[in-house]
């Protein structure tokens, strides 16, 4: 074999040295990581929640309060009572994290047989974006609606002539707890309630102090006037209050506050005939164990169907 080099041929010089690309790859990786971090931070701050687990009970509470006010306005002139909010702990968000559920209710009494008509009337009066509708179910007609922010609204028949509407958060992170309506009817702040035992009513956060006022038909009704209506009903029954007045409130959609004040009046049964002279016009409900009548802007309801007689006076939202 000849060792001569042919003209025009360059002998191999060995493998070429690799280019130094490592600094460029490292810089690109760091830049991409920074960009992802910025986008994640921006999304967490600006994007709306996509699942209810991203919004705490503290944040969802005002949505529930406003939903109750909407329901009161939609119910109108029927006899109704706001029930005490309930916060239940112990639900599971993840295998490692507990949460809590907030539920608020509105009980409405109608003539037996008129339950579906009430549900349909309320559904028609709720905001269009709630997509409210009434469907037949195994246990009777049921209203379902979406109040936004993953708050579910339902209405169902609990017994003949009784319908319960609820607004429910589902399981959420507790956050700072349920603070109650943002302001009492007299404008004072409601004290926060950061925690409650499982299944306990959120009484300290659910309502305004007993000295506050409520709105009905566009005008403020002094709390003392509402409580005097309860006193009059107690005297007519020959009973005395066995519990402190229990106020519950909800903000009305057009301003003002819907409010219920309730007391217990001892063991049932009780004769209700003594209440008839107190009614301004025809009674709203007149049954052997339940009587409701209007007294000025308030509706007074006496319910003797349970173990204890319950008296309540409620003032609704402006028409």
Contact yes or no for 310/266 (Cβ under 8 A): no
Tens-place pLDDT, residues 135-183: 998 889 999 999 999 999 999 999 999 999 999 999 999 999 998 875 4
Tens-place pLDDT, residues 177-199: 998 875 433 333 333 333 333 34
Distance CA 198, CA 12 (A): 83
Per-residue pLDDT band for 24 (boundaries 50, 70, 90) equals confident
Per-residue pLDDT band for 11 (boundaries 50, 70, 90) equals low
> Whose structure tokens read 């009614």?
279
User: Which sequence spans correspond to the domains of the chain?
Assistant: 52-315
Tens-place pLDDT, residues 242-275: 999 999 999 999 999 999 999 999 999 999 999 9
Residue 144 CA, distance from chain mean position? 14
Tens-place pLDDT, residues 199-248: 444 433 333 333 333 333 434 566 677 888 999 999 999 999 999 999 99
At 134, give phi and psi (nearest 5°): -115, 130
H helical segments located in the chain = 22-46, 57-75, 115-125, 223-237
């Amino acid at each position: 074999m000849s060792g001569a080099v042919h003209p025009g041929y360059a002998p191999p010089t060995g493998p070429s040295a690799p280019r130094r690309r490592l600094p460029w790859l490292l810089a690109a990786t760091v830049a991409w990581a920074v960009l992802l971090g910025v986008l994640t931070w921006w999304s967490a701050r600006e994007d709306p929640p996509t699942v209810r687990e991203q919004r705490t009970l503290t944040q969802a509470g005002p949505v529930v309060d406003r939903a109750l006010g909407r329901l009161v306005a939609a119910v109108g002139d029927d006899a109704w009572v706001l029930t005490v909010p309930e916060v239940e702990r112990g639900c599971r968000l993840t295998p490692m994290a507990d949460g809590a559920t907030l539920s608020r209710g509105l009980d409405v009494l109608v003539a037996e047989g008129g339950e579906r008509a009430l549900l349909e009337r309320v559904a028609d009066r709720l905001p269009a974006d709630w997509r409210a509708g009434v469907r037949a179910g195994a246990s009777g007609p049921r209203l379902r609606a979406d109040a936004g922010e993953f708050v579910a609204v339902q209405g169902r028949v609990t017994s003949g002539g009784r319908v319960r509407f609820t607004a429910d958060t589902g399981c959420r992170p507790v956050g700072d707890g349920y603070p109650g309506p943002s302001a009492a009817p007299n404008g004072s702040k409601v004290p926060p309630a950061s925690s409650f035992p499982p299944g306990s009513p959120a009484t300290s956060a659910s309502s305004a102090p007993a000295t506050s006022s409520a709105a009905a038909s566009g005008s403020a009704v002094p709390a003392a006037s509402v409580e005097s209506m309860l006193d009059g009903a107690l005297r007519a029954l020959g009973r005395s209050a066995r519990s402190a007045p229990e106020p519950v409130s909800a903000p009305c959609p057009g301003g003002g506050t819907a409010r219920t004040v309730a007391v217990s009046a001892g063991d049932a049964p009780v004769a209700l005939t003594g209440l008839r002279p107190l009614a301004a016009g025809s009674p709203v409900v007149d049954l052997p164990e339940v009587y409701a009548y209007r007294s000025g802007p308030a509706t007074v309801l006496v319910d003797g169907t349970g173990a204890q007689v319950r008296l309540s006076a409620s003032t609704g939202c402006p028409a």
